[in-house]
Copies of this chain bind each other. A is one copy, B any other.
Amino acid sequence: MRIAIDAMGGDYAPKEIVEGAILALDVIEPADELLLVGPTQLILDCASSKKIHNPKLHIIDAPEIVGMDESPVEALRKKRNSSLRVMTKITADGQADAVISAGNTGACVAACQMKMRLLPGVKRPGITAVFPTYSGPVTVCDVGANISCKPINLYQYAVMASLYSEHVLGIRKPRIGIMSIGEEDSKGNEVVKKARELIKADPKLNFIGNLEGRDVFSGVCDVVVCEGFVGNVVLKLTESLVSVLFKVIKRELLSTSKLLAWSFGGVMKKIYQRYDYHEYGGAPLLGVNGTAIICHGTSRARTIKNAVLAAKKFHSQQINRLITEHISASNIGDPDEED
């Protein structure tokens, strides 16, 4: 398997991305190769060790750099030799089987959609984040690819995220819920109500009905379907709330006893390890014709290494074949479909 990595995407690019690719060399299999995409000299300069010269690690030159002041989506259109554009192009041409980027999410989604295209029957791709919770991993789709959903998009997110939860996370018959603002069937906006009917109509999905914000972490579901606007708020709120809460606890502990604060530090570390999103590597962009892993902007070398593993697992489980088969067999379309 050949995995292309956007060396220029992310808050700590290119340094941490390049280091991540080097780290990943230790975990890939003999048949795998990594392609680091970005300005060749820059990549060579920032590598901390000679391991960058490895027969399994190729540098694909993409000399154009997207500045901080540029609109990433605009740059995608104009800069044909930017890393994102080159990476998705070579993947579409069959030179790579997967792409990984920690760069601007909107630009990455647009590049994948434009170059790699979508799976047959899929209307819109969805970013699929896994939340490590007390009761096991919860898969949320979409967390930001699509901010104005149609019912058919939400239905397809249910299909794709459920297959992902089952075949990548190993959850049997994942319980799927749709995010709304009350448990009763009558609750929710029009798109949610119509999407619910489409999901219900598919006997192969284990649909449990409406969810509320509290249900993401309560252990009642394995898959949460929502439009990208809501999913993005959920993702970012969760990350921030966890870190703020630890800060609050720390302040309170310090004002009580330094020893207590110190002992708690170790416990906190353990919790961070157990619920660490860096371990998941990144969020797959489900629905594109290929394997695409979108990483957090704050990704470190370790995150990139784990993203490589995530791409390998996604690819080997043939999630895309399962999605295509499910969507073609269920034949569920949008009643108001026009596009």
- A interface residues with partner B (beta carbon < 8 Å): 71, 106, 133-134, 144, 147-148, 179-182, 184, 186-190, 212-218, 228-230, 232-242, 244-245, 247-249, 251-253, 256-257, 260, 263-264, 266-268, 270-271, 275
Contacts and interface: CB of A to CB of B under 8 A. Distances in A.
27 contacts: A71-B184, A71-B186, A134-B248, A147-B181, A147-B188, A148-B189, A181-B229, A212-B233, A213-B232, A213-B233, A213-B234, A213-B238, A213-B239, A213-B240, A214-B237, A214-B239, A217-B237, A217-B241, A217-B244, A218-B240, A233-B234, A241-B242, A242-B245, A252-B270, A253-B264, A260-B263, A260-B264
A283 to B, nearest CB: 14
- Which 5 pairs from chain A and chain B are nearest by CB? A213-B236, A214-B240, A213-B237, A213-B233, A181-B232
A251 B270 CA distance: 11
Contact of A252 (B71, B247, B271): B271
A244 B147 contact: no
A256 B267 CA distance: 8
Contacts of A215: 240
Contacts of A264: 253, 260, 264
A267 B271 contact: no
Nearest to A188: B147
Contacts of A232: 181, 212-213
Residue in A71, A147, A189 with the greatest tally of chain B CB atoms within 10 Å? A147
Contact of A106 (B182, B238, B275): B182
Given A252-B271, A256-B266, A256-B267, A181 B233 contact: yes
A179 B237 CA distance: 11
A71 to B, nearest CB: 7
Given A148-B189, A256-B270, 14 more contacts: A134-B251, A147-B189, A213-B232, A213-B239, A214-B237, A214-B239, A214-B240, A215-B240, A216-B241, A217-B241, A217-B244, A218-B240, A230-B233, A241-B242
